[in-house]
Every structure is written in structure tokens, then in C-alpha cells.
Amino acid sequence: SLAEALHDVLKEDMQSDDRESEQDTKGEKAPAISIVDPQPGLFQQHYRLVSRYALWLWAAEFQFFDAPRRALLAHRIFARLVRRQLNALLDTVKPDLILTTYPFLTYEVMRVLERRSSTAPLVSLFSDANGVHASWLTERRVTAAFATTHENYEQALATGFAPERLHLVGWPVRAQFSQAFQSGRDAQTEKLIQLNLAANRFTVFLQGGSEGAAHVERTIENVLAARAVQGDLQVILATGTNRALHERYKNVHNLATLSYTKEIATYMAAADVIMGKAGPNMLFESVMLGKPFIATAYIPGQEQANLPFIQRHGLGWVALQPEDQYSLLNTLIRNPDQLSAMAATINTYRQWNVEANKRIVPLIRSLILSAVAM
């Protein structure tokens, strides 16, 4: 997740400071990073249910509130629902800085900070790639807004964000993905052998998903239906916590099922391409591994805009229909030059993203120091 990615970025910086100044920090409070979600559990349950069984409802909700006035109305309602949790959280954590990756913890947090006369900086980090939902653009008085792509940077400027508060920082990705990128081909071969897969066969990493979001089970069947799966193609199927999915496919030839693991980067790095629904986190994880991404599904509204983003920047392909998936996989197996050409454009974006990410820590340091000086 974005929160975990930011945790990795900041933790690495803090550990570096610890090594440099152990003597100077004796008796002082050790810096800490807390990842918290103050939302009522009902909202998380709602997402799981509608993403699996009622995508039409999710799309309708997303589109209805994707307008300035309706987004503000939603913020005002949600602010009342989470006010108590936010106050309790601030009493417990006493943060020096708050960084939110969720649009409905922008306006809501700002109102609580104002009532408390708190000077803690509030930073929002946009979690939509190809432009953001209107709910991200309601609260423009955050201390700083971190844009993750050129697209949402330009959108925020056009909507009235002050240029001095808006910073283009790229899309943060968990440290394990940078480490896996640097591990080399030998490590990837070892991982394939560990999974009882061939080291020289075209490999697809297919994200099955723990919750069955966007009906990705259909994509699994589409890939398996391609006869190449019995010969020229093999699959690493990430089933997450979905035990039924794991049991259903665990004995399929040329397929390795992968249960939930937090250390997933090395498995993705072992593949030639990554397939799955067009969620931005998985897309950018693929980019940071230098792997082409094949979008096979999307959550309507929320992820649909990621499809042209993938095509515009040359980060992979969009193949939503079974026949398109068959055709694309067969083409890539028989014409590796297409894979190499896509890898080149991915590397260009990857290098830009790495450089942009380097702005995050200095910006956060500066914001904390400015708040302390007030």
C-alpha cells in the first residue's frame, strides 16, 4: 500500500540518522512512524462487498461524488462520523506531522486540527494516477499536497492548489520492490525453481486477489483456457488469503499458487509480465520492477482512468477481453522483441519516478522543522 511505501521511505531515512547521531539522541524521544486507519469498520466491509458483488453500485457512488459540491457534502458527513476517532487518535499519537493517502481523511482531519488549534502539518498524497477524484480536491489548505504523477499535479494546479504547496514526488513503492529489481536474473531463476517452475519458460504473475475484487477469477480462467499454459507459458497465481482460489488451482500443471505473503516482490520479479486489475499500486510496483503490466480488469470509475495512463506512458497493455489476452500472450511468447521494447519505455518512467521519490524526505523534514519553529 502507499502507506507502507511511505513508511519504508521514512524508516530508511530515520535509520540513517540513527547511525549518524546515536550519541546526540540519548534521552530524547525516538522518532516513530505510525500507520493507522480511523475509519469505522463498516466502510471497509462496504468496499469488500461492493467490489466483489456489486461493481455497478461502487461505480455509481464514485461517479456521483466526483463533483465539487457533492464531494464537499460527502466530506461534511464523513467528518461527523470520524471526528471522535480522530480526536482519540491525536490524543494518543500526538503526531509531529500527519500524512494521508485517503481523500476522506483530508477535509476531515483539517477540521479536527483547526478545532484543536494544532500546528501539526497535514500532507495529502494523491492516490489516483491519471487525475484524482473530486474528493481529493476539496481541501486545498493542507500544508502540502504531494502529487504522484504529472497528470494529478496539473489537475491540482488547475483546481486552485497553491503552487508553493503542491509538490511532484512520484509514486512511492515499498522498498522490497527496489531490492528485487536489483537482485538480478540469478535470483529470479532461483525463485522459479523454488516454485517448481521452469527457469526458461515465459512466466506470467497473475494477481488473483484476496477478496475477488473486479471478478478476477474470470481472468484466471481466460489465461488457463489459453492452450499455451500447457506448453510455452507458466503462471504464478497470487491467491492471497482466498483459500478457495488456492485449493481450486493448486494442482494445475505449469501453475504455482502463492498464498498471502508480505514479501511478494521477489515472486513478481521472477515473471516476464504482471497481469491483473488496473489498480495503481500494483501498476507502479510492476514499473519499479521493470516489468510490463497487462490490465485485464478494473473497478469501474475508480480504476478505469488507469487504462489510458498505462497506454500513454508505455507501461504495458490493456487486454480486457479473453481473445485479446490470448492474442497478446501468444504474441509476446513468439516475439520477445515486443517485450523488450515495452521494457525500455517502462525503464524511462521508472528512472523518473525514482528521482521524483527523492524529494519526499527533504520535504517532510522541512515541514516538520517549520511547524516546530512556529
The string of pLDDT tens digits covering residues 218-276 is: 777 777 766 555 568 899 999 888 888 888 888 888 899 999 999 999 999 999 999 99
Does residue 118 surpass a pLDDT of 90? yes
Residues 160 and 186 in one domain: no
> Which amino acid, residue 69?
R
The string of pLDDT tens digits covering residues 7-66 is: 999 987 766 655 555 545 444 455 688 888 888 777 778 777 877 778 888 889 999 999
Residues 83 and 223 in one domain: no
Does residue 215 surpass a pLDDT of 80? no
HSE-CB for 134 with a 13 A CA cutoff: 16
| Separation CA 119–CA 369 (nearest Å) | 11
Residues 193 and 336 in one domain: yes
Res 182: pLDDT: 92
| Separation CA 123–CA 125 (nearest Å) | 7
281 close to 315: Cβ distance less than 8 angstroms: no
Query: For 22-85, what is the HEC assignment?
Result: CCCCCCCCCCCCCCCCCCCHHHHHHHHHHHHHCHHHHHHHHHHCCCHHHHHHHHHHHHHHHHHH
| Separation CA 319–CA 328 (nearest Å) | 8
Helix axes 360-373, 2-20, angle to 10 degrees: 70
Select, from the ranges 206-220, 296-310, 345-359, the one with the highest average predicted confidence (pLDDT). Answer: 345-359
Does residue 306 surpass a pLDDT of 50? yes
Categorize the per-residue pLDDT at 322 as very low, low, confident or very high, splitting at 50, 70 and 90.
confident
Angle at 55 between CA 303 and CA 41, to 5 degrees: 90
Residues 311 and 229 in one domain: yes
Residues 189 and 137 in one domain: no
CB atoms near residue 67 (< 10 Å): 13
Does residue 119 surpass a pLDDT of 60? yes
| Separation CA 90–CA 116 (nearest Å) | 10
When pLDDT is averaged across residues 133-140 and rounded to a whole number, the result is 97
Residues 152 and 293 in one domain: no
Q: The CATH number of the domain where 218 resides is what?
A: 3.40.50.2000
**In Å, how far are 174, 186, 240, 245 from 372, measured between CA atoms?**
29, 48, 43, 51
| Separation CA 272–CA 276 (nearest Å) | 14
Residues 70 and 148 in one domain: yes
**Domain span including residue 85:** 2-169+359-373
Provide the phi-psi class of 131: left if phi over 0, else alpha when psi is between -120 and 50, else beta: left
Res 25: pLDDT: 47
Mean pLDDT of the chain: 89
Residue 295's SS3 state is: strand
Residues 160 and 225 in one domain: no
Q: What percent of the chain is predicted at pLDDT more than 90?
A: 67
Residues 158 and 272 in one domain: no
Q: Which residues contact 348 (CB under 8 A, 6 or more apart)?
A: 314
242 close to 343: Cβ distance less than 8 angstroms: no
Does residue 214 surpass a pLDDT of 50? no
Q: Which residues contact 31 (CB under 8 A, 6 or more apart)?
A: 14, 17
Best CA proximity match to 204, nearest among 311, 307, 296, 310: 296
| Strand intervals (E) in the chain | 98-100, 122-125, 144-147, 166-168, 202-207, 233-240, 255-259, 273-277, 293-297, 316-318
165 close to 144: Cβ distance less than 8 angstroms: yes
Residues 161 and 199 in one domain: no
Residues 135 and 196 in one domain: no
| Separation CA 58–CA 192 (nearest Å) | 37
Cell of 213: 475484487
Does residue 211 surpass a pLDDT of 70? no
CB atoms near residue 61 (< 10 Å): 16
Total domains present in the chain: 2
Residues 123 and 219 in one domain: no
- Over its C-alpha atoms, the chain yields an Rg (Å, rounded) of 22
| Separation CA 372–CA 374 (nearest Å) | 6
Tell me the whole-structure pTM to 2 decimals. Answer: 0.90
